[in-house]
Amino acid sequence: MRVKTRTFSRSRIDRKKHDFGLASRKKFCRFCVDKVRAIDYKDIKRLETFITERGKILSSRISGNCAKHQRWIAEAIKKARFLSLIPYVR
């Protein structure tokens, strides 16, 4: 019985190495850099940058926020949704 082996072209392997280098950039928390003391639920423009087109809250892995500020953002977005300042679904 013959075992199938996968072979990849050289260009595909090189492309994977190249793509990995681009994606490894360190993300930083914008709020820590600006030394923000509190995140206001009434600041709709700032909160909308952390919401997807479908209305979901961006994860800290994608947005680059630290855990503390991610909790503050989620709390502010939920409060703004409850007060009808931001829609639940777009």
d(CA 83, CA 42): 10
Higher pLDDT among residues 7 and 77, named by residue: 77
Tell me the domain boundaries of the chain.
27-90
User: How does pLDDT run across 59-87, given as a tens digit for each residue?
Assistant: 999 999 999 999 999 999 999 999 999 99
The first and second tokens of residue 62, run together, are: 């994608």
Of the chain, the percentage scoring pLDDT greater than 90 comes to 67
Domain 27-90, what fold? 30s Ribosomal Protein S18 (4.10.640)
Kindly give the residue spans of alpha helices, DSSP state H, lying in the chain. 10-23, 30-34, 44-48, 60-63, 67-82
- The pLDDT score that the predictor gives to residue 3 is 74
The answer to whether the predicted template modeling score (pTM) of the entire model surpasses 0.85 is no
Query: Coil, strand or helix: which one is 51?
Result: strand
Mean pLDDT over residues 6-19, rounded? 62
Does 20 have pLDDT greater than 60?
no
Mean pLDDT over residues 21-32, rounded? 77
Structural contact between residues 38 and 71, judged by C-beta atoms closer than 8 angstroms: no
Does 54 have pLDDT greater than 70?
yes
